[in-house]
Structures are given as structure tokens and as C-alpha cells.
Amino acid sequence: MLNAKPASLPATLEQRALRQVDRAITDLRRGGMVLLREGGAALIAQAAEAVTAESLVRLRGLAGGALSLALTRRRAAALGLAEPPSGKGGAVLLLLAEDAAAEELRDLADPGAETAEPLPLAPVTEATGAADAAIELVKLARLLPAMVVAPLPPRAVPTLAEREGLLLLEAAQVTGYQAIAARSLQPVSEARVPLADAENTRIIAFRPSDGGIEHLAILIGDPDPETSVLLRLHSECFTGDLLGSLRCDCGDQLRGAIAEIARAGSGVLLYLAQEGRGIGLVNKLRAYRLQDAGLDTVDANEQLGFDADERVYLPAAEMLRQLGFARVRLLTNNPEKVAALTRCGIDVVERVPHIFPANGHNERYLRTKATRSGHWL
């Protein structure tokens, strides 16, 4: 479970896994292909939103057989190809016609695409472990959760990787990445940063050892590790925090938490690099477009193929441990944050309400969080 306190692997294996996954993420975002292997199965994969006519020709040539589209079960359900999952859904495979075009595949991945006519679709089948890992990998890349994949003979994969210059990953490296990255976090910089509502403030930046995006610990006053520290977990929101977007209450929550912690005398705000509930800024903008067409925030994320909330709280727990805080009073309306921190080994001794009024633009958003995501009012 990603939000549980992780077990350790030998440091050298963990570092190799982080480097491999980081390189694979970069390759996918550049439109490249990767090789994935699990046990006796292997496949070649490319992000569906990056597919071109030329890359399809190459994929078919390298695979020497039929291609499939790996989708999350949620996206398959949105297309009418599968029943919606009851919890977090895995991946399914859609066998592609030999003449399937790149534009058609991109349209299958993107619910915001404007297709001229319905696409002919075949029944889906359950994905293998390698295909599940492919979906997890493309999510880590903050791309749409859909991959064009083809099976390969496992014994041929190392030769293919060397000949074609493709990165080869084990599925376990991908599925364990979030836990390993959190475990590798280290403080890399610290400075005093007086804030408008909290002049006695320090910010400590934590970076994973693969060089990924930093998470920030904002220490207000002088919080005592021997007490139950007042804590706010805040996932970054470019539109709300920086631009003052009225579509959400994130900016109000951020500034309100800083002021509340300052009034309490001391506390911690962890600013987590998990834009759009973990789907990334680009996909959040895609979800906004679907919301403008009538969907609520949960349905929009699920139409894109994501779970309603893709965030993990292992980085938060690791930062707290390194800062010496084991017991917290959590400033939140989200029951999942309480449960997730508890699973990660942090003692949440109290839940402190954190509520702000609607502004006329975010009333439906706040109502959805309460009625569908279980947020307390």
C-alpha cells in the first residue's frame, strides 16, 4: 500500500530503481518508448498521447505482432468497455485493429478529444503485471494514463534494448518507486522566510535522491517535537495558490493555514508537490475543461482515467520523521489525510477543522468534496 510505512530494500537497488524510473519518465515525456519486464512477461510501451504515425510503424516493426492499448479500468468504464472498479482499479488491454491510426489512439486516451465519429472498440482483457506497471509509469510522468503496448519474448528484450537504445525496467521498480523516492528524501536547503501572517518562518526543501521535484517544510515559530504539533498538509495548486483561482479553495486554505498556525504560536505546513490531487497541472486543466462541460471534479478525474485522488502521503510522513515530529494535530477536513498519515506511522491525536466559505465559483467543487469525497463540513 503506497500510503503505508514502506519496507526497505538494499540501498544500491533502491538507487538503481530511482534512476531507471526517472529516466523512463523523461523518455515517455519526450515521446519515447520503454521496455518493461515482469517474471516471464515483457512488453514495449509508449504513452498514448505521444503516439504518432511514425512511432506506430516503429512499434509494430519492433513488436512483430498486434498492438494493444493499456487503459485504466476507470477510463475503460468511461468508454463503456468495462464495469467501474469498486476501489482503485488496475489496467485493462484493448486489442487494436491493424490499421488503427495514431489520432484514434490519442482520442481513446483523451476524453476532451473531439472525434468526428465513434471509434470501433473491441472487448477489453485483464492486463498483465507489466502492463499495470506501464500505466503506473505513465501516471508518474503526469501524462494521460494510457499506453500503447505490445508483448515481447522476454529473452529477446535485453538485445532489443541494446540495439534500439531503449530503457529496460522491471515492473517492481515502477510499482515501488513512490515508496523508494519518499524514503530517499533529504533536506537540501534551509532559509528564514518572513511571511505576511507569520514573520518567524523557516522553509526547508527536501529533495529525493533521483533529483525529482522538491517538497517543502514550512516551519512557523518554533514547534516543539515533544508536543503534538499543529500540522497542515497542503498539495501544491498553481492556479489557486499563485494565481488566486476561484475554482477551488486552495489559496484560501494555504493562507488560512499559515495564519492559523501563527495564531497558535507554532506549527508546520508541508507543501507537497502533488498538483491536481496527484495528476499534474496539465491533466488538471484537462479536468477543468470536462467540468466546464458539466462533470464534477470526481467524475472529471475518472473520465481522464485517474482515481478521484492520486496523492500519496509517504513524503509527508518521511519529512515529519526527519524533522522529529511523531504526534500531530492535523488541520484538515479530509478524512483520508488522517487515515493516510496514521498508516504511515504518524500519530494523529486530533483533527482540527479547516473550513472556508464558498465564493460563488467553487460552490459545486466544495459540495462535491463533501458529498463524494467524504470531507467534513
DSSP string, 30-97: TT-EEEEEETTEEEEEEEGGG--HHHHHHHHHHH-S--EEEEEHHHHHHTTSSPPPSSS--EEEEEPP
Spatial CA neighbour of 310 closest among 285, 332, 330, 280: 280
Count the alpha carbons within 13 Å of 144 in the hemisphere toward its beta carbon.
29
Q: Which is catalytic among the residues 110, 252, 307, 309? A: 309
- Residue 349 identity (one-letter amino acid): V
What is the rounded distance in angstroms from the CA atom of residue 283 to the CA atom of residue 272?
Answer: 17
- Residue 79 identity (one-letter amino acid): L
At residue 72, φ and ψ (nearest 5 deg) are -70, 155
Spatial CA neighbour of 364 closest among 271, 194, 248: 248
At residue 124, φ and ψ (nearest 5 deg) are -95, 160
Burial class of residue 9 (count of CB atoms within 10 Å of its CB; 0-12, 13-18, 19+): middle
At residue 363, φ and ψ (nearest 5 deg) are -60, -45
Q: Is 343 left (phi over 0), alpha (psi -120 to 50) or beta?
A: alpha
Residue 263 a catalytic site member: no
Residue 311 a catalytic site member: yes
310 SS3 class? coil
Q: Which is catalytic among the residues 73, 311, 343, 372? A: 311
User: Which residues are designated catalytic?
Assistant: 309, 311
